[in-house]
Each structure stands twice: as structure tokens, then as C-alpha cells.
Amino acid sequence: MKKYNSTEAPPAPMVEVKGSNPYLRVSEKARAKLDTGASMSVIPQDWVERLRLMPLGVIDVSGFDEEWREVRTYMVDLAFDGFRFDWVEVIASRRDNVLIGRDILNHLKITLDGKNLTLNIEDP
């Protein structure tokens, strides 16, 4: 069991994530929010430069206001909590943390106990 991150208001289920360039093997670490609302995972924009990522494609993305915009996609390896997901197609956004979306969450069994502010991640 892990505790929710209490520096978020309200507290949020977060993990430490390591993102790597799958080809060059450079890596960065950041906190990541588990976000079941996101259909794909999102990395901080500055990781694109730090990890020397190559753009791979484009995708139309809508935010909470349902405004669509076109963004570039990148491939990264993401690892957290003993789990590793290689060659994940992500988008980048102006943010400090990573969003782990359903593209990854749907491979795991995640229990969110909001009452006790704990989470558990398994791959049964």
C-alpha cells in the first residue's frame, strides 16, 4: 500500500516514475498522477529536450473544455513501482509531473482507497 500524495489538494494517487528514451537510454525522474480520465499518458514538455526524443506522429487532443488541438507524439519507456512499460506513445504538455493514462493503467490492477488515502498497484 502506498499513501496518496498529500502535497496535492485534495491528495492524489501519485507514484515516482522514471522516463527513458528507448533508443538513447537517457532518463529523467518525476512524480506521476494516475489519471483514469486520460486516454494516453503525458510527459512534461521539458522531457522532450532532456531525453532527446524524436517526434513520431501527431494526434488530436481534447482537454477539459473539449477544445481540440493537434500535438506531436513521442515514444518513451516508463517505469514505476516495479512495473515497466516500454515504447509507450505519449504526448508532452506544459506541466511538472507525468500523467499516467489508461493506455498504461488498463494493464494493471489499481485499488484506490480514498477513505484512507492509500493506493495499491498490482499485476495479478
Residues that bind another protein (CB under 8 A): 9, 23-24, 33, 35, 37-40, 42, 45-46, 48-49, 54-64, 68, 71-72, 75, 87, 89, 91-95, 99, 101
Q: How far apart are CA 89 and CA 3, in angstroms?
A: 28
Closest separation in Å from C-beta 65 to another protein: 8
By the 8 A CB rule, do 88 and 77 touch? yes
Q: How far apart are CA 99 and CA 41, in angstroms?
A: 5
Closest separation in Å from C-beta 35 to another protein: 5
Nearer to another protein, 49 or 124 (CB): 49
Q: How far apart are CA 5 and CA 11, in angstroms?
A: 5
Nearer to another protein, 87 or 122 (CB): 87
Nearer to another protein, 39 or 111 (CB): 39
User: By C-alpha distance, which of 80, 62, 79, 81 is closest to 71?
Assistant: 62
